[in-house]
Each structure stands twice: as structure tokens, then as C-alpha cells.
Amino acid sequence: MSKPAVLVARAVFPEVLERLSQHFEVSSNQADDTWSADELAARLAGQQGVFTTASERIDAALLARCPELKIAANMAVGYNNFDLDAMTARGVLATNAPDVLTETTADFGFALLMATARRIAESEHYLRAGQWTKWSYDLFAGSDIHGATLGILGMGRIGQGIARRGAHGFGMDVIYHNRSRLTPALEAECKARYVSKEELLRQADHLVLVLPYSAASHHAIGAAELAQMKPTATLVNIARGGIVDDAALAAALRGKRIAAAGLDVFEGEPAVHPGLLTVPNVVLTPHIASASVPTRLAMANLAADNLIGYLTQGKPLTPLNDAVLAKG
């Protein structure tokens, strides 16, 4: 009996490819070439499964050209690269990689917050350029983190991880806004207090965005929201590009309407709005919040587990569109 065929659309750990090859005929992209939608569709011809990252779009147009596809397994917790309605209509299962990256991403979010508040990147650039000639009382004086008000927009697992770090490690006053309020037990564990979005914007000394991207959250932070923040506040986005209006943020940073920003995600990434590249009071990182070796390996293995579980036994671990499973 021939093995199912799967495509691994991006470079991945060799040991994960080896695991997959024990169950499937694997086509891979270890050169990590960037494929257009047409190229991806052509390579998916005859494949039953695809291992994706957040950069491969699985939508109705692609699915119409890939009638044998049964599952797309994302090596990411976010899945805005998937058109779930189109996939469900075609009977294609979607899976993601939740939980395994929570603590690593929360670590990074807090690191980015600290780098932003304490002007670490800005001061390093200054030092490397040979501009440091003497000490002065206000040289790169930033804002405190301990005892400050930490605001979190989006209070899922990663948001809760950041809240715990702030409240327990730095004695921060944690406030949050979410589509649904946490249970009293979780609020107590995170030492977090629920507020309206408007109050969150007004009160936060440091605002961290951890909400999923959707049409409803597109530009959740734009010019109007930035205008409600304290001029001394910092903004950190480790969620998804498009949640922040990057053009409005660049203008706010240039005009010192907020103090600083730390960004790991961008609209249209890997392109970055040019306005963000010319202001000094922003820390920029290339979508690396989950990038520890153990966590990225766990993410890749979970995507592989979903492919193996579904195509060999009909039992994926983390399905997103259960209606496909219900159809049998």
C-alpha cells in the first residue's frame, strides 16, 4: 500500500522530516524558497497533506486546484493564513500548534517590553556609532517597569503568561481587556483586573497586544486609540501584523504622542512600513517571539503529529474546523 503524499512548504528541522518520511512520501523545501500562490498550488498537486507556516495562504482559489488535499497543518498558533470557511466547505482539515509556544512567547513579550521601556536598542545603536563620549543624568532615561501599570489587550494563554510575569516578578498593577472576562480564579492567579478597552488605553504605562488577528481586530490600535494613550506609555505588539495601523504608529512615535514601541510583527511582513525604520524610539524584531530551539522544534513536531494522526488514523491533535471531522 502506497504512502500518502505530503508537502512541507518551508525548511524545517531534519529530524521532523525524518519522522514524516516514516509515514509519508515527503516533498520538502529545505532550500526555503519563497513560493507564489501559483507555485504552491502546483507543488500541492497530488498531495494529501501540507505542512505550513503562517506565510502559506490556504484559500478557496488554491483549494480548487488541489482536490486531493485533506489537511493543512500550521506550525504556528495563529492561522490567519487559513480561510477556514473555504477549507471546511472543501472538507480540508486545518490544524495549528497551540500551547507549546505559550511560555517562550510570553518570555519574549516581556523581554521586548523591557527593551522598549529602557531604550536598550536605541542606546546600543548610539554606542555602536561611537557617539557615547560621557555620562549624563538623562542619557537614554526610559521608564520603570516595576510598579508600573501593565495593560494587556487579549488575555489568552500568552496574555496570562505576560500578566503573571508582570504581577509576580515586577510588582506591576495588571489590567486587561478581552472579548470575554477571565474566571475569578484565573484573574486571581494573574493578579489582573478587567477594564474596558478605553480604560485600558488611558491607564496603561505599558500596553502589550496579544489578541488574535481577524477582520474584527484589524487596526484595533489606530490613530484614535494611540491618541488615548499616555504620552509616556509604551506599546508592544507580539500578536499579528494588521492589529496595529503601522502608519499611524510611525506618526505617533515621530510626534512623541507615545514614548516608544516594540514590534515583533508587521502589516505585510516581511516588509516593514518605512516610517517605522526612520524613528529611533522603536524596537524591531523579525517575528521571533517563539524562536527558542526547543519551542520551535515542539511546534514543528506538533504540526507533524497532526499530519500523522489525521492521515493515518483520522485523529488529529489540534483541529481548528471540527466540522470536517464530523463529516467523517
SS3 (DSSP) at 298: helix
User: How much helix, strand and coil, in percent to the nearest 5, is found in the chain?
Assistant: 40, 15, 45
User: Cα separation of 88 and 100, whole Å?
Assistant: 25
Return the residue matching grid coordinates 509556544: 101
Cell representation of residue 16: 521532523
Cα dist. 133→128, 129, 141, 284 in Å? Answer: 12, 11, 16, 26
In one-letter notation, the amino acid at residue 75 is M
SS3 (DSSP) at 262: strand
Pick from 69, 100, 93, 94: nearest CA to 80? 94
Annotated active-site residue 168? The verdict is: no
Q: Which of 164, 240, 273, 296 is catalytic?
A: 240
Annotated active-site residue 199? The verdict is: no
Contact 214, 179 (CB under 8 A): no
SS3 (DSSP) at 74: strand
Length of the chain in terms of residues written? 328
Radius of gyration of the chain (CA): 22
Cell representation of residue 262: 516594540
The total of other beta-carbon atoms located within 10 Å of residue 23's CB is 17
Cell representation of residue 102: 505559550
Partners of 217 in the β-ladder: none
Return the residue matching grid coordinates 508582570: 166
User: Cα separation of 254 and 251, whole Å?
Assistant: 5
Q: Which of 90, 177, 287, 296 is catalytic?
A: 287
Annotated active-site residue 269? The verdict is: yes
User: Cα separation of 170 and 181, whole Å?
Assistant: 23
Which amino acids are annotated catalytic? Answer: 240, 269, 287
